[in-house]
Amino acid sequence: MAKKKSKFLSGKRIDPTPIDKNTALADLIDESFMAYNAARLREACQLFTKKMLEPDVTIGVTLTGALTPAGLGISALIPLIKAGFIDWIISTGANLYHDTHFGIGLELHQGDAKLDDRILREEEVVRIFDIFFDYSVLLDTDEFFRRLIEHDEFQKTMSSAEFHYLCGKYILERSKTLGIENKSLLAVAYEYGVPVYTSSPGDSSIGMNIAAKELQGGKLILNPNLDVNETASIVLAAKRGVISNSDDGKSAIFILGGGSPKNFALQTEPQIQEVLGIDEKGHDYFLQVTDARPDTGGLSGATPAEAVSWGKVDPDKLPDAVVAYVDATVALPLITAYALARQEPREPKRLYNRRDEFMKLLQSEYEKSTRR
């Protein structure tokens, strides 16, 4: 009598198609990324493309690490926005500052990370690992932001989303004057109505220049309270089906790296449930690309299972969660290419213009809460 096959042997047989010169990238990922972190990256590509890109899902992306100076804003994030695959963003201020270099016609170059930094300092060359640029790039970008925030429309308290939207408008205008297209994430986010938040407004050269202008009487204040509530309202609107105009909307979080943007995106659900007392269960889809480890605290509160205990992730959706322990500069281009090859573009949700609507929803549900 033949031995009954174990249910644990139901996975796809490891028998990949040999790679040849005609192998397409998406096919390579599906057929050759069979095990270890390659398999997690395959799962990430498939989760993003097959489930997170469904029409009723609203996708928030978080950015940490020096991704934009490495060109990933241009090569990956902008194509994802233009395809309707990113609906809202939380980023470090540094990524948005360095993104601006490209939009105003400044140059960054590949370099050699082994060079003596004392020599680079003498040559007025700034280094981000193996990315080199002239010191004047910083000075010119600082000057751009200082002149920008002198405009009357900046002389008030606002959310970081409103600030970045206005910045994107002016970066787009400068890009058009220079004959530059699709080089700045902020400019394209402005065009497509993608709200862009930063979790630490003072922690970048943009914040430093805002602080400097305040010393001269500038009235611009980025209010983190607005950001906390606006991001929570986006998630609530997604889950209530307001964004997708459906009975069963979903929220997905795509985390590149970790840090403060990661927590700021994930805390939207505890803000809704724990603080505001609104009935909710957590994000539906969780995708993280990271090289951090949970046992050292680098992923504190942010592995999918641990996030369930905080109410950040819906426990019923835990199987739809993937962590790929891969450098984001490797994973993001592959995920982007895979998604663009396997999925048709979605209609942009243009969430920026609906922020007031979402805040009214959050306010109305909070008014019914016993936590007030």
Q: At what angle do helices 135-148 and 93-103 cross, to 10 degrees?
A: 100
Tokens at 158, concatenated:
């606002």
Q: Give Cα separations from 147 to 97, 125, 167, 191 (angstroms).
A: 15, 24, 11, 22
Please tell me the total number of residues recorded for the chain in this structure: 372
* Active site positions, annotated: 312
Check the CA dihedral 63-40-80-113 and report its sign. Answer: positive
Residue 109, strand partner residues: 132
d(CA 284, CA 125): 45
- 108 contacts: CB under 8 Å, gap ≥ 6: 69, 71, 98, 101, 102, 131, 132, 133, 137
Angle at CA of residue 70, ends 147 and 43, nearest 5°: 125
Whether 288 contacts 324, CB under 8 Å? yes
Rg (CA), the chain: 22
Check the CA dihedral 362-364-370-372 and report its sign. Answer: positive
Q: Whose CA is closest to 187, among 201, 200, 203, 174?
A: 174
